[in-house]
């Protein structure tokens, strides 16, 4: 299977264009048909085969299918996938090589891993059909922030695109970025990825040297760069900023736009389905409901009414048949709007509250070092192997690393996390920060329903955070 399938992509583009304005009944018909095909494929996986039984006379109904969780499915990974050639140990060996980021496993499957924001990492495999759908949705549903420029330069040949994020592992964002770079020969020399783990001064210098026109990153990292720009420590002539992976508040969007003098776009996605929702020209997130079913439910798993935010949400990916995602608990909290969008799209509008970790400033005075929560969590995950942890800022020069450490091995990992964190802080220029370790339960859960892993204690919060500095 080629990396990019023109035939599948063309069919998916045409279908997506029609579905954007389809009636609710037409959308439901598409979902029903695709759900039947997905469950038929899922029945080829041993884990699902043991739970599905024969197909009902009228076809499978979503509400009758079992709910699933990452921890359960990852524990039975080889029984979760429908292709016996896809084995977890082989995938882990594949992902151990950073040179393979953005390439295909077995020459036919895209592979990436989640960061473990809900306490456990995941490994995800995507087939060619799903890749074609993802590409089509990105092609025809992402709102153009500068319509005239896209009309004159549809292939973005005049743009320089920078991605700032976690780039040293097979994460979905960098895997998608590297795949795009490999697919487009004319863009390859004009695309570059930068690690958010390097000191801010080094990152700023590298970005200035590359001189991007488009910046793709996480909101918290964009906030750090905007603060550098506001202090004239970073000079970029950006035409667009695209964010994802974390909540983008209206205040932060305004701060980024005014600081860099360009429009800011946002998307909502997950490792389990990359382009879940995209902003329209009115700035509202529309769920790609023809290919993804997102159920907002309360703590007992019951559907919530439009306008109400559920306790969690369940995702069904209708596109990917090699690793069935069926009523899969994401953990994010979402609310669907009941009113139609002025943009004219009939796709449902969704408000999302995902990861809501805090942006930390360590050190005293205006020269304190800003630390992206994503950079901190990535360091602790990748270098210390910590996932179920919480980092709390107790004072400008004091952090507390908490973990449920009930065994000697867990206590050792907690200490390893402290050592890794101290080394990372020193590289960022924060050399006089104390990191305490504590074997304890997390302080509180973030409003997203996920564990809030990086937060400021109430006593350290400023009376009124400046736009772009907090959530």
The predicted-structure confidence for 213-223, as pLDDT tens digits, reads as follows: 999 999 889 99
148 CB contacts (<8 Å, ≥6 apart)? none
**How many CB atoms are closer than 10 A to CB 106?**
14
Sign of CA dihedral 98, 102, 107, 112: positive
DSSP run (H or E) holding 437: strand 434-439
CA 133 – CA 288 distance, rounded (Å): 10
pLDDT at position 464 is: 43
pLDDT band at 467 (very low <50, low <70, confident <90, very high): very low
Rounded to two decimals, the pTM is: 0.85
Could you report the per-residue pLDDT of 133-170, keeping only the tens digit for each?
A: 999 999 999 989 999 998 899 889 899 999 999 998 99
Do 6-353 and 360-460 have matching folds? no
Number of residues that make up the chain: 471
Confidence of residue 195 (pLDDT cuts 50, 70, 90): very high
Place of tokens 């700023």: 204
Q: What Cα–Cα distance (Å) separates residue 150 from each residue in 153, 156, 240?
A: 5, 7, 12
**pLDDT the model gives residue 245:** 82
Query: Does position 450 have pLDDT exceeding 70, yes or no?
Result: no
d(CA 271, CA 172): 6
**Separation CA 10–CA 31 (nearest Å):** 20
The encoded tokens of residue 185 equal 């020969």
Lowest mean pLDDT among 107-121, 418-432, 448-462: 448-462
Write the pLDDT tens digit of every residue in 267-297. 999 999 999 999 998 999 999 999 999 999 9
Please report, to the nearest 10 degrees, the dihedral formed by the alpha carbons of residues 178, 180, 182, 186 taken in order: -130
Q: What is the CATH number of domain 360-460?
A: 3.30.300
> At 406, is the pLDDT very low, low, confident or very high (cuts 50, 70, 90)?
confident
Q: At what angle do helices 250-260 and 219-230 cross, to 10 degrees?
A: 40
Which pair of structure tokens corresponds to residue 242?
């695209």
Domain assignments of the chain as residue spans, ordered by start: 6-353, 360-460
The total of other beta-carbon atoms located within 10 Å of residue 282's CB is 13
Q: Could you confirm whether domain 6-353 is CATH 3.40.50.12780?
A: yes
Q: Work out the pLDDT band at 322, boundaries 50, 70, 90.
A: very high
254 SS3 class: helix
**Cβ within 8 Å of residue 162, ≥6 positions away:** 191, 192, 193, 194, 207, 210, 212, 214, 215, 216
CA atoms within 13 A on the CB side of 263: 12
Average pLDDT value for residue range 383-399: 89
The total of other beta-carbon atoms located within 10 Å of residue 3's CB is: 15
Long-range contacts of 348-352 (CB under 8 A, 24+ apart): 348/286, 348/287, 348/289, 349/284, 349/285, 349/286, 349/287, 350/268, 350/277, 350/285, 350/286, 350/287, 350/294, 351/285, 351/309, 352/247, 352/268, 352/277, 352/285
pLDDT at 471: 30
pLDDT value at residue 247:
78
Separation of first and last alpha carbons in the chain = 44
Reported confidence tier of residue 355, pLDDT bands at 50, 70, 90: low
Six-digit token string for 407: 């065994």
pLDDT given for residue 378 in this prediction: 85
Nearest of 264, 243, 349 to residue 20 by alpha carbon: 349
Closest-CA residue to 195 (of 219, 174, 220, 224): 174
Cα-only R_g, the chain = 22
Residue 11 pLDDT > 80:
yes
With bands split at pLDDT 50, 70 and 90, how would you rate the model's confidence at 368? confident
Confidence of residue 468 (pLDDT cuts 50, 70, 90): very low
The single residue listed with the structure tokens 């989640």 is: 114
Task: Give a three-class secondary structure readout of 74-101.
Answer: HHCHHHHCCCCCCCHHHHHHHHCCHHHC
Q: 280: which strand partners?
A: none
């Amino acid at each position: 299977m080629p990396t990019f399938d023109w035939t599948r992509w063309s069919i998916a583009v045409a279908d997506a264009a029609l579905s954007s304005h389809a009636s609710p009944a037409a959308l439901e018909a598409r979902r029903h048909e695709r759900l039947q095909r997905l469950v038929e494929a899922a029945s080829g996986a041993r884990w699902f085969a043991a739970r599905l039984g024969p197909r009902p006379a009228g076809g499978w109904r979503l509400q009758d299918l079992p709910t699933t969780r990452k921890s359960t499915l990852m524990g039975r990974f080889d029984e979760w996938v429908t292709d016996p050639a896809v084995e977890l140990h082989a995938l882990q060996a594949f992902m151990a090589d950073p040179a393979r980021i953005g390439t295909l496993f077995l020459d036919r499957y895209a592979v990436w891993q989640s960061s473990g924001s809900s306490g456990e990492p995941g490994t995800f495999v995507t087939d060619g059909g799903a890749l074609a759908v993802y590409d089509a949705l990105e092609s025809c549903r992402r709102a153009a922030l500068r319509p005239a420029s896209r009309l004159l330069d549809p292939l973005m040949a005049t743009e320089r695109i920078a991605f700032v994020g976690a780039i040293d592992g097979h994460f979905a964002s960098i895997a998608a970025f590297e795949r795009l770079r490999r697919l487009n020969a004319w863009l390859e020399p004009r695309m570059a990825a930068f690690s958010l783990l390097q000191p801010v001064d080094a990152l700023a210098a590298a970005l200035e040297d590359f001189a991007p026109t488009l910046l793709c990153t996480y909101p918290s990292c964009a906030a750090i760069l905007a603060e550098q720009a506001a202090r004239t420590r970073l000079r970029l002539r950006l035409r667009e900023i695209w964010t994802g992976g974390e909540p983008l508040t209206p205040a932060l969007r305004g701060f980024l736009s005014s600081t860099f003098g360009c429009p800011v776009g946002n998307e909502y996605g997950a490792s389990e389905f990359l382009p879940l929702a995209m902003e329209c020209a009115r700035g509202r997130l529309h769920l790609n409901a023809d290919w993804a079913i997102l159920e907002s439910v309360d703590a007992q798993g019951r559907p919530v009414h439009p306008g109400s935010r559920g306790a969690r949400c369940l995702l069904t990916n209708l596109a990917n048949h090699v690793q069935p995602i069926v009523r899969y608990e994401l953990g994010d909290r979402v609310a669907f709007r009941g009113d139609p969008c002025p943009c004219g799209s009939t796709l449902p509008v969704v408000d999302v509250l995902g990861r809501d970790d805090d942006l930390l400033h360590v050190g005293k005075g205006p020269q304190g070092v800003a630390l992206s929560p994503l950079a901190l969590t990535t360091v602790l995950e990748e270098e210390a192997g910590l996932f179920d942890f919480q980092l709390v800022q107790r004072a400008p020069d004091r952090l507390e690393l908490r973990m449920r450490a009930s065994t000697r091995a867990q206590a050792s990992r907690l200490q390893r996390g402290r050592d890794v964190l101290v080394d990372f802080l020193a590289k960022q220029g924060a050399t006089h920060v104390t990191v305490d370790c504590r074997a304890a339960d997390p302080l509180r859960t973030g409003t997203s329903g996920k564990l809030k892993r990086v937060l400021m204690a109430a006593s350290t919060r400023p009376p009124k955070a400046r736009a772009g500095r907090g959530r």
